[in-house]
Amino acid sequence: MTADMKAILDKQRASFTSAMPEPMSARRDRIDRAIALLIDHKDAFAKAVSADFGHRSTEQTLMTDICRRSVR
C-alpha cells in the first residue's frame, strides 16, 4: 500500500469513527438510497452480471439478485 493510499484510508477511518454512533435515521437513509440506486440501475447491473456469469439471463438476475433483495 502506498503512503498516499494509507493516508486517505486513515482519514476515512477517522471520519467514520468520529461519527459513531450514527443515528438510526442516517443509517436508514443510506439503506434507502442504496436500494433506490440498485433499482434505478437494475438493467445495467443485470447486464454486468450476465457478462460476468457468461450470459446469465436478465430475468434470472432480476428475480434472484436484485428485486428480491430490494424488498424489505
pLDDT value for 54: 83
Please, what is the average pLDDT of the chain? Answer: 87
47 is a domain residue: yes
Query: With a threshold of 0.95, does the pTM exceed it?
Result: no
67 is a domain residue: yes
Helices 24-40 and 42-53: crossing angle, nearest 10°? Answer: 70
- pLDDT tens per residue across span 4-54: 999 999 999 999 899 889 899 999 999 999 989 988 999 998 889 888 888
Host domain of residue 49: 41-72
pLDDT value for 23: 92
pLDDT exceeds cutoff 90 at 58: no
What distance in Å separates the CA atoms of residue 45 and residue 60, rounded to the nearest whole number?
A: 12
72 is a domain residue: yes
Quote the cell numbers at residue 58: 436478465
65 is a domain residue: yes
Domain tally, the chain:
1
- Phi and psi for 69 in degrees, rounded to 5? -80, -15
46 is a domain residue: yes
52 is a domain residue: yes
